[in-house]
Every structure is written in structure tokens, then in C-alpha cells.
Chain A
Amino acid sequence: MMHWASTTEFFAMGGYGFYVWISFGLTLLCMVFELWQLRGRRHALESGERA
């Protein structure tokens, strides 16, 4: 099941680690950021209404 012989191999991604991890990392980061930003927008609305 596990494709990798070691954690080092996993992070190295056959020498392409930089490209692969930035791709995956940026994707996840963007999605988390989008959700976080929406949360902020929601809070601003709710606190605005109470004001």
C-alpha cells in the first residue's frame, strides 16, 4: 500500500519535492484561506448588525 520506502523519500518526491509540495501546499492554503476569509466576512456582518 505505502509507496514510499522512507519519509525522506516521501518529502523528496524523486527530486521534484519543491514543485510537488508547493503545488499541493498552495492548493490547500488557498482553500483554507478562502474559508477563513468567509468566516471573517460573516463575523463582520454579525457584529455590524448588533451595533
Chain B
Amino acid sequence: MSLFGINWFRYSSPQTFYPLAGKLAPIFLTMAVMLGLVGFYIALFIAPTDFQQGEAYRIIFVHVPAAWMSMFIYLVMAGWAAVGLALNARLSFMMAQALAPTGAMFTFLALVTGALWGKPMWGAWWVWDARLTSELILLFLYVGFMALQSAIEDTRRADRAGAVFALVGAINVPIIYFSVKWWNTLHQGASINMTKAPSMAAIMLWGMLLLALSFWAYSIGVALLRVRCVIAERERESAWLGAAAED
């Protein structure tokens, strides 16, 4: 299949994707730094003080982007798992594997920054409300995915088992997203809506969006770097096993 003169399926082979990933990763990481610098500048120097929450609200600038990435990365990971299972593509499974640690990191950050915001504002580090609980479950799903993969010796079986696990867990993401609408939660409702204008000041929204884009570019860059390691490690393992089998 050729689109813009590129045969995309060529890149579904780990060997051909490897150098491409190497070229793309620094581009995404540079974008992440540039977007991050502007985003953080807005968050810390330009955005005004919140009328109700004072300066503590600034945590939103890292909390929301981290939470968005935690959900988005899981969906992408589950997407690659599905593609891997459907097309029996090794590289798809490797991408899922490469995304998990970054997703887990952002989930952890969303939870911790949420707690740091919750304590001064609402008086509690943690409540078992729908959103917080489902986000915590998301962390367990990421960790479970990584643990499951490392627990299974045979790479192919580990990939498939992990992929099924990731897909089953994907239902949690819409639960997190809609939790503030479906249940009575302490966590505030959606700040950004598809149908109506956002309720927050434009400059605050811009800071949040720029940092979200920065985290997104960072995630792609890191995933590309990590998948290169995964490709090389699997290559080395199969070469080693191949050489041992010849003896």
C-alpha cells in the first residue's frame, strides 16, 4: 500500500522501523522540550491567580496533562495490542510493550499531583471516589500488563497474553472519563467540553493544552526510544538462541 510514495507496510518490520524510530525520536523530544518551556512559562509566570484556589490551582497544569496522557497512552497501547492480535504483527506487540512504562508513570503522576492538590483544597490526600479509584485501577492495569509480560518466558505467548489483558482493561478508560458524569464524585467535572465553551480563563486553558501537547510529544519520543531497545533486545535474544540451537 503506497501513500505519498511511501510503502507503509515496509515499516511493520522491526528491522526497517528501527532506524526510522531513531530518526524520529529526537524530533519529538525536541518538540516536547519547546512546548514544555512555553507551557511551563505560562503556568508559572503568566497565568493569573485563581479566585477561589489561589496559587495551588497551578497544579492543574501538570495534573491534567498527566491524567490525559495516562488514559490516552492506555488506549494507544490497547490499540497496538489489538492490531498485534489481529495481524499477528510482532512490532505492534513491541509498541504496546514500549508504551506501558510511560503510561504507568503518567498515571502515577496524575494520582500524586491529584493528592497534592486535594490535600490543601479539599482537606484529603485521597478519597475513594469514582474517578480517583478508577485511575488507581488504571495504574494496577499498567503494572499488571508489565508484570504479566515479564512473567511469561516465551515472547510470543507473553505478547499475546499481555495484549488480551490490555484489551480487557481498556474498558476502564471510558469509566475514568465518564465517572464524573455518571457518579457523585468529589473530583470536579469536565473542564473541557466538546459542545460548549470551556469554563476556565483562556490563558489557563492554553497553558494546559501546551503542556498536554508537550507530554504527548514526550511520550511518543520515549516510546520510540524504548521500542528500539525492545527490538534490539529481542533480536539479540533470538540470535543467541539461534546460535545455541546450532550447537
Contacts and interface: CB of A to CB of B under 8 A. Distances in A.
Nearest to A29: B109
Interface string B180-220: 00000000000000000000000000000000000000100
Q: What is the interface of chain A mostly: helix, strand, loop, or mixed? A: helix
Interface residues of A, number: 26
B45 A2 contact: yes
Interface residues of B, number: 36
A38 B222 contact: yes
Contact of B116 (A14, A22, A49): A22
B55 A14 contact: yes
A19 B45 contact: no
Contacts of B226: 38, 41
Contacts of B59: 19-20, 23-24
Contact of A14 (B54, B63, B112, B222): B54
Contact of A49 (B46, B47, B222, B236): B236
Given A34-B222, A42-B229, A27 B62 contact: yes
Nearest to A10: B44
Interface in A1-50: 1-4, 10, 13-16, 19-20, 22-24, 26-27, 30-31, 34-35, 38, 41-42, 45, 48-49
Interface stretch (B87-95, B100-108, B136-144, B160-168): B100-108
Most chain B CB within 10 A, of A16, A27, A34, is at A27
A34 to B, nearest CB: 6
Interface of A: 1-4, 10, 13-16, 19-20, 22-24, 26-27, 30-31, 34-35, 38, 41-42, 45, 48-49
Given A1-B45, A14-B54, A19-B59, 7 more contacts: A2-B45, A14-B49, A24-B40, A27-B62, A34-B105, A38-B222, A41-B226
Give the 4 A-B CB pairs with smallest separation, nearest first. Answer: A14-B55, A16-B56, A13-B55, A23-B113
